[in-house]
A and B are shown apart, each in its own frame.
Chain A
Amino acid sequence: MSEKTRKKNKVKISDALEQVVNPPETKNSDTHAVGVDIGTSKIVIATKEDGKEDYTSQLNAFISVDYSKFTENILKQNNISHHKRDNSLLVYGNGAAILANMLNSETRRPMRHGLLNPKEPNAIDIIKGIIDDLVPNSNNKGTQLSFSIPGAQTDNETDIIYHEAILKRHLDTKGYNSAGINEGLAVVFAELEQENFTGIGISAGGGMCNVCLAYLSVPLISFSINKGGDFIDEAVASVTGEVSTRVREIKENNLNLLQKPNNEIEDALHIYYDNLIISLVKAMKENITGKSKAPRVDAPIPIVLSGGTVKPKGFKDRFEKFLKEEEFPMEISNIKIADDPLNATAKGALIAAMYEN
């Protein structure tokens, strides 16, 4: 970067930072249980106080800017989470997205496909930084904390062990007694209490889709597929020439899968959404028909969809359509979107943590 550009950027950065919402205050709470959803695109923490669940989230992303004393001061003054590494500043959390927009560049992800990103050298530090911002140190030794981890794929089980161990070690140092919970199971815990925790929980997040079939709270089948919101963003960006951030913005704000697409980007979004849903349904069918331990259920079971990827209007209808076309091997009573799709996993993790308590 030339000196001229850097100066220009400095101005922009300072402007941008004023807009950045201060990161949420770390709560020094005495809650006895904490649920954390460590997703590819967001980290959400759930606590329960006075009988009400409370959610706080940070973007699980970062952006690297050149180091200067001026920029660092601005970041500190605005309480922006950052980390100094060599000659650059790694800005992470919610501030990263706004900076990326201002600088017309892409945020980077410390996680990829639900796991620590092996291609990102700063991944662990960034994740730890975001977790430190969100999760307070525990005053009570042994406070239970459950954090979400993705379901296994055929080729990544060893990666999950590493991912889980790193997170657990860090959370334990904060005074918690932490344990991982499958993301799909967390969705079942959060949304299917009325059904006695029986049904299929699907968490369609940024990096992947996690599925768990639970029967009376017992996780019988859990798996994940390597497609999520990021896959759609990247694929659409690739075929349309737009940046992923812009595609994501359109996807999150304007997309309606029930209506005809209005432009090329929406058209591509429709195509890749369908592709994701078909992959998900096929994987569900294969996993359920392929497992001998799939229960012979007495009654139809429900499916709950959660996560940011299910938010566009019409997702449920498309999912239902493809599920029917695929001749799903189990009878489904109803398909519903979670009451709070973005926080369902964290809520389920919280219930699991309370259970462990």
Chain B
Amino acid sequence: MKTEASNYAYSAPWKLPAKDYRRFIEDLAAMIPDPVKKLKFLNQVMGSYQKMPFYSKLCPPVAEAAARKIIIEKAKQYCPECLADNHEFIQKYGAEPRLSHVWSSLRQYNIFKSSGLLLFIWCIGLLVTSFAAILHSDYSSDMKTAYTEKGVFHSIIYPSGIPQGKTEGTGIANHSDHQNNPEQLHAYATEKTPDHNKIVTLPEPIAGMYFAYVHDMPHGRYQRFNVYSAYIPDDGVQLPAEFIAGESTGNKESVNEPATIQANVKDKKPEKQNNNIASQSLPASDTVQKKEIIPQKHFPIFIKNPIWLVEKTKEREIYSNRLQIITTHTVKNIPREYYEFFRNYSGLPMEDKTSSQIRGLLFHASESDILDFKPEMNQSIVKFSRLLIKYLCKKKSYHYFIDRFGRVYRLIYDDQAAFHAGNSIWADDDLIYLNLNHSFIGICFEGRDFVKTTPSNKEKTSDKRLPKIKPMGNSSITEVQLRSGKELTDWLRYKYRIAQYNCAPHCLASVNPKHLLIGYHLDLSRGFPFEEFGLSNKYKEPLPAITEFGFKHDNYFLKIFNGNPWAAVKISEEFLQNQAIDNNLKFHTHRKNLNKKFTRLFEWKKSHQKNKS
């Protein structure tokens, strides 16, 4: 027997939407500040989902389109003001025009009542799914992954391989109308989007299948094309030069992390640059040279396998992935609270809208004094670590600290800020983060990878600005530290659903905001084992500080690295050039505009932080 209360506003039994929809609903609900409106939204969405005719759920794509439409409609209904600024977000999630149109028109004409049509749609759905499954065993899960990453991925499938001499390749088009039709697709790619699509002539015909997904960057400043998976059976075939960061795999079964592909700019001569950015003197990076096909490991965007708390005592927490966190040194700090700067929105954030969500992980090295890692130094190493922890707790510097024996200490509670990256910039597809103290978790490895230098008198006279540090031959961070770091990273990524592109070493995010320079701190600037951590190599990916705000680097920075810093710097500079070309601007004008944008946001943030405090 059911009471009225147990039926409160609903009719049991409940069927919950699929996991992806639920996540989508959660994300949207999180944007609604008013609890009553949020409740209304959730009730309406969940109620509407229950009312969806069962037969619509038989064809997953139609059900998906219908569910998304319902969710977006309800979100707009209950909180249009808070969603107005997130138009792009809605479009990303809600944009499935063809499917949703199909759904709405079918619903409008009540065609679903016809059981014959229902059967037909169902059969089509089954056929499509089966076809995709044959082509690629992970097809459905790939699409799902793409969806949950908040990106709109359009699939382009070549069932019969790439013809000889045809020009195909990088990122071809973001137009799903031409799915399964290479000729139309090729025509579309060459006619409609010549600027953004690299057309590559392959030396040999590639027999087999080829999958490509195009990922639109929403802000439109540059487009990053991603190859999602490629199957090339002939070992001798090399991928074109434009495959910068990612290499194709010879393994049909595996699904690769999207690899960055650089847009072709050869046919467009960049404006002559009269600025003196140091990158002009950079040596040719290996990223612009042809590369051999090297099997690439799969980097999961999110950690999916569950990691759970196994045991908790007053002293430590033990997790299912072997991670142990010592909690005896944890201290309190201020709660997380930061403004969200939307990447696709050039205006300032709402003053009363802040977030406390954990968005990423930033890896640090303590750069403290390091003793030799030998048994006879044991006591001293332990003592050093203890003193360092005490100091870090006092300064509230990091959330987690990993000592040289790989022991993980929680220094600050996760839901509170730590002062580990105040002057730092990072960005993902949705947001730009200025000051990562509140939005990221700081993980510090006890160790250093720089040593102080004492220039000789001769050097001093020849160049007054010689670097005071130089990279060590080998990092002092131990293997056990990295192993613990990996366990901690996995757990945090799983717990807070942190995307892999938001996990980076401090050096890549650290900036000097006054002089608009990157590389203010340089900890972990070489040899971070991204691959072992299940992350893509951030040393080879565009730096948000440069691509979003036009930051530069100076000669001092170059000297530290002997003129050979991360490939990311060069890639980012080239992105900037492309942006300038796309916007018909001179390079330095474009960079100035970006600098102005940063100054505006930075000043605003500073003033509002002051006001708040």
Contacts and interface: CB of A to CB of B under 8 A. Distances in A.
Interface in B8-28: 8-10, 13-14, 16, 19, 22-23, 25-26
A181 interface: yes
B26 A196 contact: yes
Interface in A131-190: 149, 151-152, 157-158, 160-161, 164, 179-182, 185, 189
A219 B39 contact: no
Nearest to A163: B3
B14 A182 contact: no
B29 interface: yes
A355 B312 contact: no
A220 interface: yes
A216 B14 CA distance: 12
A351 B42 CA distance: 13
Contact of B39 (A197, A215, A295, A300): A197
Contact of A216 (B3, B9, B29, B35): B29
Contacts of B10: 218-219
A253 B5 CA distance: 34
Given A217-B46, A331-B309, A193 B6 contact: no
A193 B312 contact: no
B297 interface: no
B4 interface: yes
A181 B30 contact: no
B13 A189 contact: no
A220 B308 CA distance: 23
B353 to A, nearest CB: 14
A324 interface: yes
A217 B43 contact: yes
- Which residue, of B4, B23, B308, B312, has the highest number of chain A Cβ atoms within 10 A? B4
A198 B3 CA distance: 22
A345 interface: no
Nearest to B494: A299
Interface string A290-318: 00010100111000000000000000000
A158 B1 contact: yes
Contacts of B19: 298
B309 A182 contact: no
Contacts of B312: 324
Nearest to A350: B36
Given A193-B38, A215-B16, A331-B308, A300 B495 contact: yes
A351 B9 CA distance: 13
A197 B22 contact: no
B597 interface: no
B3 A160 contact: yes
A74 interface: no
B336 interface: no
B497 interface: yes
A299 B497 contact: yes
B13 A293 contact: yes
Interface string A269-303: 00000000000000000000000010100111000
A256 B6 CA distance: 35
A293 B15 CA distance: 8
A295 B3 contact: no
B40 interface: yes
A41 B177 CA distance: 66
B1 A298 contact: no
Contacts of B39: 189, 197, 217, 351-352, 355
A293 B16 CA distance: 9
A222 interface: yes
Nearest to A298: B19
A16 interface: no
B5 A216 contact: no
A293 B12 CA distance: 10
A354 interface: yes
Nearest to A165: B4
B22 A181 contact: no
Contacts of A164: 3-5
Contacts of B9: 355-356
A219 B12 CA distance: 9
A219 B42 contact: no
A197 B5 contact: no
Contacts of B23: 298
A220 B30 CA distance: 21
Contacts of A216: 16, 22, 25-26, 29, 42, 46
Given A196-B38, A197-B39, A295 B6 contact: no
A157 B8 contact: no
A351 B19 CA distance: 27
Nearest to B38: A193
Interface of B: 1, 3-6, 8-10, 13-14, 16, 19, 22-23, 25-26, 29-30, 35-36, 38-40, 42-43, 46, 306, 308-309, 312, 495, 497
12 contacts: A151-B6, A158-B1, A196-B38, A216-B16, A216-B22, A216-B42, A293-B13, A298-B23, A299-B495, A300-B308, A352-B39, A355-B36
Ranked nearest first, the 4 interchain pairs of A and B with the lowest CB-CB distance are A180-B5, A217-B42, A193-B35, A354-B36
Given A161-B3, A355-B40, 14 more contacts: A157-B1, A158-B1, A164-B4, A179-B8, A180-B8, A181-B5, A182-B8, A189-B39, A193-B38, A216-B26, A216-B29, A293-B13, A299-B495, A354-B36
Interface of A: 149, 151-152, 157-158, 160-161, 164, 179-182, 185, 189, 193, 196-198, 215-220, 222, 293, 295, 298-300, 324, 331, 351-352, 354-356
